[in-house]
Chain A
Amino acid sequence: MSGVNGTEPDQLLQLAESLLALAQDGEQMEVAVSAGSSTSVRVYGGEVESYTSADSSGAGIRIIVDGREGFASAGTLDPAILKGLVQDARDNAAFAETDPHAGIAEPDGVAPVEVDAWREETLSLGAEERIARALEVERRVLDGHEAITGVRTATFSDSAGAGALASTAGIRAADRSTSVSSMVQALAVDGDRSQTGFGWHGARAPQDIDYDHIVDRAISRSTELIGATKPESATVDLVLDPQLTATVLGLTAGTLSGDRINKKRSPFSGRAGEIIASPLLTLVDDPTDPLSLGADSTDGEGIACRPVPLITAGTLDGYLWDSYNARKAGVQTTGSAVRGTRGLPSPGVHALSAAAGTAGSLEDLISSVDLGIYVFALAGLHSGVNAISGDFSVGVEGRMIRNGSIAEPISECTIGSTLQRLLLDITAVGSDRIHMPSGVAAPSMIVSGVRLSGK
């Protein structure tokens, strides 16, 4: 297989450039195109349940004329439709409101750091190998623990894709990437109900998938919840492993998006330079970290990605900006635009990274807690976390920690706080920082004094 769909980044860039030629006088135009192929196998009960293979492509065109912005997109690279898209974007712009800050990104002279996200070996996977890998994960989970009664699904997926961006401001960017992932959902019988455990890992190349992690996580998360009951309400310490730390810090980073800051929809608006977190917390978005799967050379507007300090030893450094929001706020873009081909750019994180602390391993953290929860999962994050007020009320599953030891499993309870309080109440940060397939790097943490609502 040469390239993707026979489409190399260079060819996509040429296609994008050819559409720029349709820009009229006075128009700013930005064209994003992408093409890729993907395969996914799902197995159940030792058999293939489904095998999906597909090519997909897409284009998004943004036109700004006299400060008015229009956008149009399509799920194809069909030349006739692309030509129509240019006109659609222009028509849409005609009805938008004039905004002096509207516009595409202007090159800022920062040179991109090369990120090689392409692994040729991903392309050589065959059907039998994909199926065998998914079946192996399913079998290992089923055989891994006597309480495991079933596997709801086990999957193996891989994809390869390329994208390009070109604009009338002279931006040219093109890249390509591969990815592989595997997932399993285990079911463990628990009286007249079941507990589920989810294991997942992803990488750029098949040999980098950590199957032990997938299997162990699915088994431990389901079987260690057997017999879970509703706990007594109490004030507890939360022990978060790196995955859950990543979840909480991801929500935090969401409130630091320049879009939310400009619209005053963040509890951290106007607070740069202030202490907003425990001195133990240092947080940066660093897409130049080659170890992160979120690493990228350019952002969603073709601007070079760079490290963006967010919180240093508890002090808020600043925010994530794309070009529009930066212009509006009178600052420089931080190269933080994220987007799909089919959508407009907005500021967000690429490769969030929390610095390691000195509190040791997850086990060390657990043994330091008198009364707490070793958290397995947080539920209802989108309904329970208000990114405007910071109110935080989510369902929690896990094991109680009593006198430094893991105790009974709990479910049907919630923890309530605010994001602001959670950040200030971080009382320990582990030295076990790892890079996760989500692109986030984080250690374990303890958040103290959180309200647990149960019985």
Chain B
Amino acid sequence: MEILWASERAVEAAPNAGRPHETGESYDGEVTTELLKSQDVDAVLAAGRRAGAEFVEIFAEDVERRSVNLDDRRIENLASSRDRGVGIRALVGDRIGFAHTSDLSIDALVDAVETAAAAAVGGTESAPGVPDPAVVVSGNVQPVEVRPAEVPAADKVALVRAADEAARAVDDAITQVSARYAETRRRIQIANSDGVRSGDDQTRTLFSVTAIATGDAGQQTGSETIGNSVGFELFDRNDVTQLATSAANRALTKVNARPAPSGTMPVVIGPGSGGVLFHEACGHGLEADLVRKGASAFAGRVGEQVASELVTIIDDGTMADEWGRFAVDDEGQPAAHNVLIENGVLKDYMWDGLRARAEGRPSSGNGRRQSYRHLPMVRMTNTYLAPGDQTPQEIIAGVDDGVYVARLGGGQVNTASGDFVFGMTEAYMIKDGKIDEPIREGQLIGNGPKVLQMIDAVGNDFEMGPPGTCGKDGQGVPVGDGVPTLRVTEMTIGGTSA
């Protein structure tokens, strides 16, 4: 399991970008998605049940992406892409047959459902039947004020140019700047033989800027990324020149920093990007599919104290505007606010339809997939540590000799052992209760379940971190994370100082 943070890597959320808006669909806040006609949907579900599948699901998707990339003072390219297709899942017992196609004709869909059903049935005795009556499931579709597709390309080009200029204006030591604008509109339609008829219309807009500062000790980078489940109004709410200035200043800070130390010490994590720690350190271990397979350090521990009493962790797919939000998940279930750990006690895992079905309980709205070409599985949405009651100053003041991590970058966790690593992209020493000199990047390393027990202070502030793409079993999905300021009594810093 790993998470690639947009601020650290080529932004994964929108590798290409969409094609010009061609059909001019109306948008009224309701689900207008109908990629497949209802009679085709009914016919495909019926064909799947007839072929012996106990459960049949149709997932149709239409994704348009558009991006503008600037690097080395030049608009490198404008790119657009279009992806449309259908993935059909058939289930017999625990066995899944899956077929996908980019051909939306009824003949291709029936072929696909028969292929999927045959794979699910295998050699076993099957029980042909008919689908249940349709029931519409709807969620709260994110309203979009300004459709990115309707904004002229020149305006998007102007944004990345403005960021380039602003970052270079900060200091002559800023020797290189790259900036990226990306938009995605993803429309999905889900129907299954249990009667679910659902859909969503998801728009995500992102902007990132990376500045490189060159000094005596080589080159260092500073990045800023904003991304929300909103339209072009993202730029009414955020000033890209401020973002660029901040990225440049981060690079300059680092170029003057000394190498990070090595060893074990108290660590204070600042608000925002530290959310990745909880995503990795415990979030993945609370995914029901991994729990079931014994690949989680949290298996069989519901009701137990698994963390410090200061720790309450929530996964919330309903958070307005956030990167990991949606109306319904990729199995047609409404997004939900799920308390995973409350005052240190493990309350519940996260569930997709398959695991929920197997255990006779409702899905928690965490069934997600990268695209119609992928099977859904349990995934996080927006995962955060709830604020506590100490001020950030109090928390830092409690450390004589330690590290303050202002920004955490990407990380990786082994869910079975709980061991994780994270890159610190901006960090400072703490001396005698005060933030001291900056240090260059290094890794934070630890064990998720142990770190949860070692949190001894949680701040009354809170921020969501930058938009991220979480990878699991080769599938990437957009996620959000957030934390208040918090302190861990002891973590290992792997720096590069000798």
Contact = CB atoms under 8 A, between A and B. Distances in A.
Which of B4, B154, B412, B419 neighbours the largest number of chain A CB atoms within 10 Å of its CB? B419
Interface residues of B, number: 90
Given A54-B100, A70-B78, A416 B442 contact: yes
Interface stretch (A24-32, A95-103, A438-446): A95-103
A95 B69 CA distance: 11
Given A411-B419, A414-B445, A51 B97 contact: yes
Interface in B410-461: 410-412, 414, 416-423, 425, 440-443, 445-447, 449
A196 B295 CA distance: 8
A383 B219 contact: no
A301 interface: no
Interface stretch (A208-216, A283-291, A387-395): A387-395
The DSSP consensus for interface residues of chain B is strand
Interface in B95-135: 95-102, 115, 119-120, 122
B96 A194 contact: no
B85 interface: yes
A56 B87 CA distance: 12
B77 A71 contact: yes
Interface stretch (B12-20, B49-57, B321-329): B12-20
A88 B19 contact: yes
Contacts of B154: 95
Contacts of B256: none
Contacts, number: 272
B101 A54 contact: yes
A414 B94 contact: no
Interface stretch (A167-175, A260-268, A330-338): A260-268
Nearest to B409: A383
Given A96-B77, A264-B176, A383 B83 contact: no
B82 A81 contact: yes
B412 A380 contact: yes
Q: How large is the interface on A (under 10, 10 to 19, 20 to 34, 35 or more residues)?
A: 35 or more
Contact of B16 (A187, A343, A384): A343
Contacts of A55: 101-102
Nearest to A196: B416
B378 to A, nearest CB: 14
A53 B447 CA distance: 38
Interface in A193-234: 193-196, 228, 230, 233
A75 B443 contact: no
Nearest to A235: B498
A358 interface: no
A91 interface: yes
Nearest to A89: B80
B32 interface: no
B422 A383 contact: yes
B481 interface: no
Contacts of B96: 48-51
B488 to A, nearest CB: 14
Contacts of B447: 412
Interface in A39-94: 44, 47-57, 69-76, 78, 81, 84-85, 88, 91-94
Contacts of B38: none
Given A71-B79, A233-B262, A416 B496 contact: yes
Given A54-B101, A193-B417, A76 B84 contact: yes
B75 interface: yes
A344 B15 CA distance: 11
A47 B102 contact: no
A342 B67 CA distance: 13
Contacts of B297: 192-194
Contacts of A190: 417
A122 interface: no
Contacts of B492: 230, 412-414, 453-455
Contacts of A94: 153
Contacts of A195: 416-417
B423 to A, nearest CB: 3
B421 A383 contact: yes
Contacts of A413: 445, 492, 494
A379 interface: yes
B394 interface: no
A202 to B, nearest CB: 14
Contacts of A95: 68, 75, 78, 153-154, 157
Contacts of B97: 50-52
Given A195-B417, A382-B410, A455-B492, 8 more contacts: A49-B96, A51-B97, A52-B98, A74-B81, A150-B294, A395-B443, A453-B445, A453-B494
Interface of B: 2, 4-5, 8-9, 15-16, 19-20, 22, 68, 71-72, 74-85, 93-102, 115, 119-120, 122, 153-154, 157, 175-176, 212, 218-221, 260, 262-264, 290, 293-295, 297, 373, 375, 409-412, 414, 416-423, 425, 440-443, 445-447, 449, 473, 492-498
List of 3 A-B pairs having minimum Cβ-Cβ separation, nearest first: A414-B494, A383-B423, A380-B421
18 contacts: A48-B122, A51-B95, A51-B96, A70-B79, A74-B81, A75-B84, A91-B20, A91-B153, A150-B294, A194-B294, A196-B414, A380-B423, A388-B221, A392-B496, A395-B419, A416-B443, A416-B494, A417-B496
